[in-house]
Amino acid sequence: MQHGFKLLDAEHDIGLSRAREGYRLHLNQGDERIEIPVSLIQGEEGDWVLNVNGEVDHISLALDGDDVFIHLDGEVYQLTFEHALQRLAEMSAGAAADNVKATMPGSLVSVAVAEGDHVKTGQTLLVMESMKMETTIVSPRDGVVQSIQFTPGQTFDKDAVLITLEPEAEE
């Protein structure tokens, strides 16, 4: 069974199987599929002892839904488990352009359009503020504003849907 994890915007297909001791990690290296002996055992105070190919590291980790956060050698990494169905859906996604998303967390300064407005590509939809700087969000295509999710002053996280455009009519 193959599973996918996203790390730093790259996807990795991996598998896991039982070994006599511990487990085996299956992964791609170049064009080859390789296997590496791995194990992870609980250490002290919520930390873990990771063994990969005989190399031992003391790591900290935390799970949150599909996210796993790993503190390894002074750096924290985030990996996200990709559900098979979700990966399939994203591959055939045509709806992405209907949602105008926040490229970074911030707050809404002003909205330049109203629901039902016809907008053109590049037209200013709203102004958001992040890092004490204002960013103008423009329409990615011609269309009609279906809904506006936030009001000025409200804050949002990265990737929050700010404005939804009506789906484009089928040709």
Partner 1 sequence: MSSHMTTIDTSSWPFDTVLVANRGEIAARILRTIKALGLKGAVVYHSADRKTPALAIADQAVEITGETPVAAYLDAAQILAAARQVGAGAIHPGYGFLSENADFCRAVTDAGIAFVGPTPEQIELMGDKVRARAFVEKAGFPVAPSAIEDDDPATFLERARALPLPLLIKPAAGGGGKGMRVVREADQLESEIERARSEGQRYFGDGRLYVEKFIENPRHIEVQVLGDAHGNVVHLFERECSVQRRFQKIVEETPSPALDEKLRNEICETAAGIARSAGYRNAGTVEFIFGESGGEAEFYFLETNTRLQVEHPVTEEITGKDLVAEQLRIAAGEKLGYEQQDITASGHAIEFRIYAEDAAAGFTPTTGPVLRWKVPTGEGIRMDDGIVEGGAVTAAFDPMLAKLVIRGADREEARARADAALRDLALLGCKTNTAFLRRLLNHPAFIAGDVHTGFLDANPDIAAEPELSEATLHKLLATAALTNRPMRDNADLTPDLHAAIGHWNN
To partner 1, the closest distance from the beta carbon of 167 in angstroms equals 29
To partner 1, the closest distance from the beta carbon of 101 in angstroms equals 14
Q: Which stretch binds partner 1 (CB under 8 A): 54-62, 88-96, 114-122, 142-150?
A: 54-62
Tell me: does residue 73 bind partner 1 (CB under 8 A): yes
Which residues does 20 contact at the CB level (< 8 Å), separation at least 6? none
CB 76 within 8 A of CB 67: no
Q: Pattern 14-53, binding to partner 1, x per CB under 8 A?
A: xxxxxxx--xxxxx-x---x-xx-xxx-----x-x-x-xx
Strands 55-64 and 47-52: antiparallel
To partner 1, the closest distance from the beta carbon of 118 in angstroms equals 28
Distance CA 54, CA 19 (A): 14
Tell me: does residue 12 bind partner 1 (CB under 8 A): yes
Tell me: does residue 158 bind partner 1 (CB under 8 A): yes
Pick from 31, 32, 44, 64 the residue near partner 1 by CB under 8 A.
64
Distance CA 60, CA 71 (A): 5
To partner 1, the closest distance from the beta carbon of 136 in angstroms equals 13
Long-range residue pairs from 134-140, CB within 8 A, at least 24 positions apart, any chain:
134/109, 135/103, 135/104, 135/106, 137/100, 137/102, 137/162, 137/163, 139/100, 139/165, 140/97, 140/100
CB 153 within 8 A of CB 159: no
Positions in the binding site for partner 1 (CB under 8 A): 1-3, 5, 7-8, 12, 14-20, 23-27, 29, 33, 35-36, 38-40, 46, 48, 50, 52-53, 55, 57, 59-64, 68-79, 81, 104-107, 130-132, 134, 153-158
